[in-house]
Structure 1
Amino acid sequence: MAPQPRGSSSRIPFGVIFGGTDINEDAKCEEKVRVMEAVLNEARFAVSFTEAMRERAISNWPHARNKIYVQPQGIVTTPNISFNWEKCLQSAGIPHNGNSLCYFLLICGLRRVKDPLYLADAFAEWHREDPSVQLIIIGPAVDPVFAEEVKEKVQRADGVHLLKEIPQEDLHAAVKKCFAVVNSSISEGMSAALLEAMDLNVLVLARNIPGNAAIITHQETGLLYSNPEEFVQLSKSLIGDPCLQRKIVARATEYVTKHHSWEHERNAYQNFVLSLH
Structure 2
Amino acid sequence: MRLLLLACLRAQTGNATTAGRIQDHLEAVGHICSLKDASGYENPSEIANLISAEKFEAALAIHLYKGGRLLQGSRIPFGIIFGGTDINEDIKHEEKHRVMGAVLEEARFAVAFTEKMKELAAAEWPDARSKIYIQTQGIMTTPSATFNWKRFLQNAEWHRREPHMHLIIIGPAVDPQFTSEVNEKVTRAPGVHLLQEIPQDDLHAAVKRCFAVVNSSISEGMSAAILEAMDLDVPVLARNIPGNAAIIQHKDTGLLFTNPQEFVQLSKSLMNDPSLERKIVTKAKAYVKKHHSWECEREAYQNLVLKLQ
For Structure 1 versus Structure 2, the TM-score category normalised by the shorter chain is 0.7 to 0.9
Q: What does 1:65-144 correspond to in 2, within 5 Å?
A: 65-90=129-154, 93-95=155-157, 127-144=159-176
Residue in 2 that maps onto 1:260: 292
What do the CA deviations read for 1:83-134 (whole angstroms, capped 9, x no partner)?
11222333xx4358xxxxxxxxxxxxxxxxxxxxxxxxxxxxxx54323322
What is the alpha-carbon distance in structure 2 between the residues aligned to residue 146 and residue 189 of structure 1? Answer: 20
What is the alpha-carbon distance in structure 2 between the residues aligned to residue 5 and residue 198 of structure 1? Answer: 35
| Larger RCO (CA within 8 A; separation ≥ 6) | 1
What is the alpha-carbon distance in structure 2 between the residues aligned to residue 243 and residue 65 of structure 1? Answer: 43
Residue in 2 that maps onto 1:200: 232
Aligned partner of 2:164: which letter? S
The answer to whether structure 1 residue 35 and structure 2 residue 99 are counterparts is yes
What is the alpha-carbon distance in structure 1 between the residues aligned to residue 190 and residue 96 of structure 2? Answer: 39
The DSSP-based 3-state class of the residue aligned with 2:169 is strand
The answer to whether structure 1 residue 245 and structure 2 residue 245 are counterparts is no
The answer to whether structure 1 residue 234 and structure 2 residue 266 are counterparts is yes
Alpha-carbon contact 2:251-2:280 (below 8 Å) kept: yes
Alignment size in residue pairs: 244
The answer to whether structure 1 residue 12 and structure 2 residue 76 are counterparts is yes
Alpha-carbon contact 2:137-2:297 (below 8 Å) kept: yes
Alignment counterpart, residue 163 of structure 1, candidates 195, 200, 203: 195
RMSD, aligned CA: 1.5
Residue in 1 that maps onto 2:120: 56
TM-score, normalised to structure 2, is: 0.76
User: How far does residue 161 in structure 1 lie from its aligned partner after superposition?
Assistant: 1.6
The DSSP-based 3-state class of the residue aligned with 2:243 is helix
Aligned partner of 1:14: which letter? F
User: How far does residue 135 in structure 1 lie from its aligned partner after superposition?
Assistant: 1.1
What is the alpha-carbon distance in structure 2 between the residues aligned to residue 236 and residue 157 of structure 1? Answer: 19
What is the alpha-carbon distance in structure 2 between the residues aligned to residue 73 and residue 27 of structure 1? Answer: 22
What is the alpha-carbon distance in structure 1 between the residues aligned to residue 157 and residue 299 of structure 2? Answer: 44
Aligned partner of 1:24: which letter? N
What is the alpha-carbon distance in structure 2 between the residues aligned to residue 164 and residue 197 of structure 1? Answer: 19
What is the alpha-carbon distance in structure 1 between the residues aligned to residue 173 and residue 89 of structure 2? Answer: 19
Change (3 A) 1:95 1:270: farther
Alignment counterpart, residue 173 of structure 1, candidates 201, 205, 211: 205
Change (3 A) 1:198 1:5: closer
What is the alpha-carbon distance in structure 1 between the residues aligned to residue 217 and residue 289 of structure 2? Answer: 24
User: How far does residue 5 in structure 1 lie from its aligned partner after superposition?
Assistant: 4.5
TM-score, normalised to structure 1, is: 0.85
What is the alpha-carbon distance in structure 1 between the residues aligned to residue 138 and residue 88 of structure 2? Answer: 21
Change (3 A) 1:80 1:95: farther
The DSSP-based 3-state class of the residue aligned with 2:308 is coil
Percent identity (aligned): 70
Q: Mean alpha-carbon deviation: is it higher for 19-28 or for 163-172?
A: 19-28
Residue in 1 that maps onto 2:86: 22
User: How far does residue 247 in structure 1 lie from its aligned partner after superposition?
Assistant: 1.3
What is the alpha-carbon distance in structure 2 between the residues aligned to residue 95 and residue 270 of structure 1? Answer: 49
What is the alpha-carbon distance in structure 2 between the residues aligned to residue 253 and residue 161 of structure 1? Answer: 28
What is the alpha-carbon distance in structure 1 between the residues aligned to residue 166 and residue 188 of structure 2? Answer: 14
User: How far does residue 199 in structure 1 lie from its aligned partner after superposition?
Assistant: 0.1
